[in-house]
Amino acid sequence: MENSTFGVWNDIRQVQDQVDWDRIVWFLQAIPRHSFLMWLIVCKKLKTQDIMCKWRASGPDSHDHLFFECDFASQVWYGVREKAGMQIIGKRWDGIMDYLIQHADSKRATHIIGKLVVAASAYFIWQERNNRLFSSNKRNVAQVIEVVLMIVRMKLHTMKFRRTSNMN
C-alpha cells in the first residue's frame, strides 16, 4: 500500500464500469443540487412510492411516472422543452436521456441549456411532489414552469458563450 492520499483512495474505492451518463449529470455549468438529484434519478435511487412500497407504503408514483409521464410533470416538461431546443423530444425519461447522452460532450449552448433545463425540471417537479405529500404548499404548472425557466436564466447570466447568430 502506498503512503499517500492517492494510494489510500485507490485502496478503499470501488472501481466500476464507466457510465455513458456522467457528463449529463456532472458538467461544469451544472447547478450542484440539480446534479445531485439527477444522479439519484439516473441511478433510480429516489425514494418514490414504488420504492417505499417495499417498506409498506403505497402510491402511484415512480421514477418514470414522475419524470415526465404524470399529467403535472408532462405539462411542465412540455412548457420548458422548447426553450432548450428539445421540442421534438417526448416525455419519456429514456428518450430524454438518449438525447442528452448523444450530446453529453457538446459545448454548444443549446446542449448545455438542455441539460440545465432537464435537471431543473426534475428538481422542481421532485420538490413539488414532496410539497404535495408532506406540506400544504402547492404550485400550479405555470408557477413551476416559471421557476424552472427563471433558475436556468439566472444560471445562464453567469456563463459566457461564444457569440453567434444562434446564441443571440
C-alpha dist (Å) from residue 26 to 68, 108, 113, 132: 21, 16, 14, 29
pTM of the model: 0.72
- How far apart CA 34 and CA 38 sit, in angstroms, is 6
pLDDT band at 133 (very low <50, low <70, confident <90, very high): confident
Mean pLDDT to the nearest integer, 65-77: 91
* Interhelix angle 109-134/93-102, nearest 10 degrees: 150
Nearest-5° Cα angle at 36, 31 to 42: 120
**Over the stretch 4-44, which tens digit does the pLDDT of each residue have?**
888 887 778 777 888 889 888 988 899 999 999 999 888 88
Percent of the chain with pLDDT over 90: 48
Burial 80-111 (b: 16+ CB within 10 A, else e): bbebbbbeebbbebeebbebbeebbeeeebeb
